[in-house]
Chains A and B, each alone.
Chain A
Amino acid sequence: MRTGIVVFPGTWSDRDCAHALLEVLGQPARYVDYRETRLDDLDLVILPGGFSYGDYLRCGAIARFTPVVQAVTAFANRGGLVLGICNGFQILQEARLLPGALLKNASCEFRCEWVNLRVEQNDTAFTLDCRPGQVLRIPISHGEGNFFADRATLDSLEREGRIVFRYCTPDGRITAGANPNGSLANVAGISNARGNVLGMMPHPERACEPLLGGEDGLMMFRSAIRALSHPLPNPPHEGEGVTAGVA
């Protein structure tokens, strides 16, 4: 799996993602500068966490207009795998590759801690190796991860089975107490209709080594590797991103 890790001004989990892929998984990976426009050497593009452009105005609002995001949009529409982590998730939403928005945490505080995620869909490129209902332990680190979408959007996400992760208790119950940021329906991660684009607030790249507290994050990267050997089915219908893009 050839991975490109996008570096925007202000990105910081680029190095953590590179560490997970190169050192832990032994997979080839390269950094992709935000001014780049060619991604055809890549199987997977990661938009990592951080504070692109300082998260000034709105998280991801300015990064969304960089050349690389146009390229990522085209790459996604060609069926390439795209993983947006934390700030990357926010950027995918600003770019309309994924629906909804991420508001300030309900606590209005930044939160860095381990959380439990229930795998709601294991037919995305990033969850193939998970059992449905499986609970993953992965850290969050954000101040604005409070998922919001209007009723209609949320309903269609539920209907189309595009809610991939929900915050849950260690034994997999979806409760208010397990929700670290006030997200609607405890949503922690969603995918596009085709399942090749995933956005999530938690940081799988921080959960790839027992030494650092856990390795559940590896499942997602291993799933992607497997997905590439069994290409995903074509979109059932026009999913987001196919027409949406950069103004």
Chain B
Amino acid sequence: MKRFDARITALRSVATGYRELRYEWPADLPPPSPGRFFTVRAGGRYDPVLRRPFAFSAWSPGGAGEPAEASFIFQVRGRGTRYLAELDTGDTIDVLGPLGTGFGKPRRGSRPVLVAGGIGLGPMLYLANALSIDARDGLCEAPVLALGFRTASLIPDVAMPEGTVICTDDGSAGYRGTVTGWLEGYDPGAPPYLYACGPSAMMAAVGAMAAARRAPYEAALEQWMACGVGACAGCAVRLRTGQYIKACVDGPVYDGNLVDWGAML
């Protein structure tokens, strides 16, 4: 973990309202694993005060004189992300990371089923790519990545791993319906190991299915954060046990079967 000023190496639009930003990764930091995140100062000296958290969507080692690069995909929502969207290649961003606890490995022989919607795209892409390698190495079955969109024009222009399932609410591409609708009818052919990141309603629906099928479920949650390092207790998430744990260090990935989805909605 480190705070550093990172040079932006690429910033491009990948879909309506979505950008991919790549920046130089310091040589003395280890690569971030899928599900981990960083925070960035997204504005001037004062405003906003809170750093904005984003999950990694890719990491490349560089080499041959080229620096390593980290990437993330973000949706332009409010002033912080608007600020980021207006930066240029060569500008610097103030990064604090890598933070948090990422995704765990699926059980041997199980089928990783990755479900993403909206801003969950980035971390799920990163995880799907990592698990494809694990599958090649025989550590799990080939992962399936299911992505949900309102309509075809929102499908991002990014490389997707083989076997990605696209769902659109209006049927303009791929499966017609929600990604959870698709999941309902899907036969994984092996014990499923569920991963999800996206809107709370989607996460909760996947949670219900996981509970019904008694499947392991790792859920990456979005929660307001202040420090990002476990110092402020601002990002607390309530578990079914009534206990609060910190999204920034214990998360952002949780055992979805322990999350109190009712309290999240």
State yes or no: do A and B come from one complex. no
